[in-house]
A and B are shown apart, each in its own frame.
Chain A
Amino acid sequence: MTDTATPATNIPTAPRGNNLRFYGMWAIGAIALVVLPLIFSSGGALTSFSLIGISIIFALSYNILLGQTGLLSFGHAVQYGLGGFMAVHLMNAIAAHGWFIPLPLAPLAGGVGGLAFAIVIGWVMTKRAGTVFAMISLGIGELVASSSLILRSVFGGESGITTDRTALPHIFGWSFGPQIQIYYLIAFWLMVSTIAMYALTRTPLGRVCNAVRDNPERVEFIGYDPHVVRYIAFCLSGFFAGIAGGLAAINFEIANSAYLGAAQSGLVLFATFIGGTAYFVGPILGAILVTYLQLGLTSVTSVWQLYFGIIFIAIVMFAPGGIAGIVMMHRPLIRAGTLGTVIPAYLVSLVPTLVLALGVILAIETVAHYAESQGSAFSLFGIPFDTGSPLTWAAAVVLIVVGFLVARITWRRVAEAWDRATTVARERGYLA
């Protein structure tokens, strides 16, 4: 390779070269948050956006552990849930004592709750990384979730603790009763938390977290105690998880044991991984997709968790970098100008892949409906099907088999087109 053909590595990346683009992206994000409810103003949309906002903060806080520091937690909902309870208790206290603390500050109490618990429990938990940490986090998660049912005065037992968000002092004439006001409250905290968590990745600690993730042994020989690094990361992550929990408590006006449980911990792991842990934007994409799917699928199918499982397995097996990983893979191709050569292959393979997916969905739905009541009718994408008819079963099998056989050929084509495109990109110096 000649020197002139390596622009990507020869250009000393100017420290502030992409200033405009960088701040532009944040500005677009902020504007989108403001404008979104004006375009989609239905009650359902506002509720969805609110939930998505909360889960973005939660997923980003999770990625401080998983993506940045390499800590796989199965109990991240503990900090989230305790943040929720903290916020609810604070709100009730404010209402009872008539303190002048407006609602927008309540999520901060959630953050403090998450942080406080992390400070107390974190030192022991982060002593080791890897499997040890994962197992302890699972244990702590179960411990806290089950004690929440026992300690009724704090956690309210099965029913949880309710609150009234409108009972707090109003500011700017906002009562925080209407969902739109809650949306903007969440959007505000989403923006603040996202900026803070992004900034964290660009601090000395944030970079050393990556070093601990990559090679904790070596970190000890450049002056750092990996235990301390993990501990601080765990505490900060707990703080932001607590903010998310506090927002959830405000949104639902309740905190209960479900906030703390394994299902909630699983969901955030799921969203973060699907989005992609290697990029800051990954958990954001994952949280949007997973929350949207969760809201959308639950109303369409009774076996929505099955689809989640399939998506998760597919991502783990075929795209371990998640959605962000898939998108970022294409960056060198865009720069090298060879993206156009892979797109036709994508489009061609899309057709049989969709046929295959359709077959799988039909098969799952037929089985699910058959199990509920034999010979029942249901409709899929507007087409009526009868679970009692062999025709339905045959259709599913044909779609799967034909779809798979044809798709396999087109996938091979995609791989070939991909190889050609990356080879060119490498020759042009856009790929290491």
Chain B
Amino acid sequence: MTAAIEIRAVEKRFGNVSIIRDLNLSIEQGERHAIIGPNGAGKSTTFNLVSGHIRPTSGEIRLNGDVISGLRPFEINRRGLSRSFQVTNVFARMTVWENIRCAVLWATGHRYAFWKNVDDLPEVRRRTAEILESIHLTHRRDVPAGLLTYAEQRELEIGITIAGGADVIMLDEPTAGMSNMETDRAVTLIRRLTEGRTLVIVEHDMSVVFGLADRISVLVYGHIIASGTPEEIRNDPKVKEAYLGEEAH
């Protein structure tokens, strides 16, 4: 089976500074993969590289076997990869409903249509309503996204990410800044919404990582030092030394 995401010998330099060095990572289809590592290790940069936000200096990234490095974000998205952002990145002046609906439109084949009534598309309406229901925001559907609470905006962020029906979902610190209760809720939500899809997640909260992930990769200074099951990672001496030392369970 081809890997969902295959990163081969990727390097990213900004000027003379190498942010990512010889990055190799393979994520199987249907796997829940967490990337952990100290601040500044290059986790978000990795996300940006895979999703097309920035281009690798060298190396190759494949999505379901096809080379995607060098493509624009929307081209990668159309091939079935969708990501969320660490800093909430929604459409602030649009309502919650409109936010989700816009994210559904491309995937349902309506593209740039300016001859269809957007309220008259049953498939779009059904999927939008479904996603709103699943992220528990149906009762807030007519509120502009900018007026939501922080936790609600994070949920909306996840909703927008999954709305297009991509089969590879990348979530960048989805529970950052949430209370314990909100985190539990978000984890349940993520688990349910990414059922049957490939999930790549960057997260600082170790209980989330170990509770959610099938496999974990540890990124330090732009290089993966270990990759394996939660059990293997927990017992890996290199990881303990580099990262888990002070946060060990």
CB-defined contacts of A236 to chain B, threshold 8 Å: 114
Known: A10-B139, A225-B72, A432-B143. A218 touches B89 (CB 8 A): yes
Least Cβ–Cβ distance between B31 and chain A, in angstroms: 21
Nearest-CB residue, chain B, relative to A228? B112
B241 is an interface residue with CB less than 8 A from chain A: no
- CA A351 – CA B25 in complex, angstroms? 72
Nearest-CB residue, chain B, relative to A236? B114
- CA A399 – CA B114 in complex, angstroms? 54
Known: A9-B142, A211-B94. A206 touches B89 (CB 8 A): no
- CA A220 – CA B81 in complex, angstroms? 12
Q: Are B77 and A220 in contact (CB under 8 A)?
A: yes
CB-defined contacts of A228 to chain B, threshold 8 Å: 112
Chain B 102-133 residues near chain A, CB threshold 8 A: 102-103, 105-107, 110-119, 121, 125
Q: Are B116 and A204 in contact (CB under 8 A)?
A: yes
Q: Are A222 and B119 in contact (CB under 8 A)?
A: no
Q: Are A210 and B91 in contact (CB under 8 A)?
A: yes
Least Cβ–Cβ distance between B133 and chain A, in angstroms: 11
Q: Which of B92, B110, B114, B121 contacts A215 (CB 8 A)?
A: B92
Q: Which of B77, B94, B107, B117 contacts A221 (CB 8 A)?
A: B77
- CA A120 – CA B93 in complex, angstroms? 31
Q: Which of A8, A12, A221 contacts B73 (CB 8 A)?
A: A221
Q: Are B112 and A210 in contact (CB under 8 A)?
A: no
CB-defined contacts of B111 to chain A, threshold 8 Å: 204
Least Cβ–Cβ distance between A277 and chain B, in angstroms: 11
What is the predominant secondary structure among interface residues of chain A facing chain B? helix
CB-defined contacts of A222 to chain B, threshold 8 Å: 74, 77, 82, 102-103, 105-106, 160, 163-164
Least Cβ–Cβ distance between A428 and chain B, in angstroms: 16
Nearest-CB residue, chain A, relative to B166? A223
Q: Are A223 and B139 in contact (CB under 8 A)?
A: no
Q: Are A223 and B112 in contact (CB under 8 A)?
A: no
CB-defined contacts of A10 to chain B, threshold 8 Å: 139
B140 is an interface residue with CB less than 8 A from chain A: yes
Chain A 351-406 residues near chain B, CB threshold 8 A: none
A 199-217 to B, binary, CB cutoff 8 A, 1 in contact else 0: 1101111111011011101
B90 is an interface residue with CB less than 8 A from chain A: yes
- CA A15 – CA B117 in complex, angstroms? 12
Known: A202-B118, A220-B73. A210 touches B98 (CB 8 A): yes
- CA A206 – CA B98 in complex, angstroms? 11
A411 is an interface residue with CB less than 8 A from chain B: no
CB-defined contacts of B74 to chain A, threshold 8 Å: 219-225
Least Cβ–Cβ distance between A411 and chain B, in angstroms: 26
CB-defined contacts of A214 to chain B, threshold 8 Å: 91-94
A125 is an interface residue with CB less than 8 A from chain B: no
Q: Are B141 and A12 in contact (CB under 8 A)?
A: yes
CB-defined contacts of A77 to chain B, threshold 8 Å: none
CB-defined contacts of A186 to chain B, threshold 8 Å: none
CB-defined contacts of A206 to chain B, threshold 8 Å: 114, 118
Nearest-CB residue, chain B, relative to A214? B91
Least Cβ–Cβ distance between B162 and chain A, in angstroms: 11
B176 is an interface residue with CB less than 8 A from chain A: no
Q: Are A9 and B143 in contact (CB under 8 A)?
A: yes
Best-buried of A203, A204, A224 by chain B (most CB within 10 Å) = A204
B 49-88 to A, binary, CB cutoff 8 A, 1 in contact else 0: 0011000000000000000000011100110001101000
Best-buried of B105, B107, B160 by chain A (most CB within 10 Å) = B105
Nearest-CB residue, chain A, relative to B114? A205
Q: Are A221 and B92 in contact (CB under 8 A)?
A: no
Q: Which of A9, A221, A224, A225 contacts B83 (CB 8 A)?
A: A221
CB-defined contacts of A202 to chain B, threshold 8 Å: 117-119
CB-defined contacts of B118 to chain A, threshold 8 Å: 202-204, 206-207
Q: A12-B141, A221-B82, A432-B144 are in contact. List 7 more A-B contacts (CB 8 A).
A: A15-B119, A202-B119, A207-B102, A210-B93, A210-B102, A215-B90, A223-B106
Closest 3 CB pairs of A and B: A223-B106, A220-B73, A205-B114
Q: Can you name 20 A-B pairs with beta carbons within 8 Å?
A: A8-B142, A9-B141, A12-B141, A200-B114, A202-B117, A202-B118, A204-B114, A204-B121, A205-B114, A207-B105, A208-B102, A208-B112, A210-B94, A210-B102, A211-B102, A215-B90, A223-B105, A223-B106, A229-B112, A236-B114
Residues of A within 8 A of B (CB): 8-10, 12-13, 15, 199-200, 202-208, 210-211, 213-215, 217-225, 228-229, 232, 236, 278, 432
Residues of B within 8 A of A (CB): 51-52, 72-74, 77-78, 82-83, 85, 89-94, 98, 101-103, 105-107, 110-119, 121, 125, 138-144, 147, 160-161, 163-164
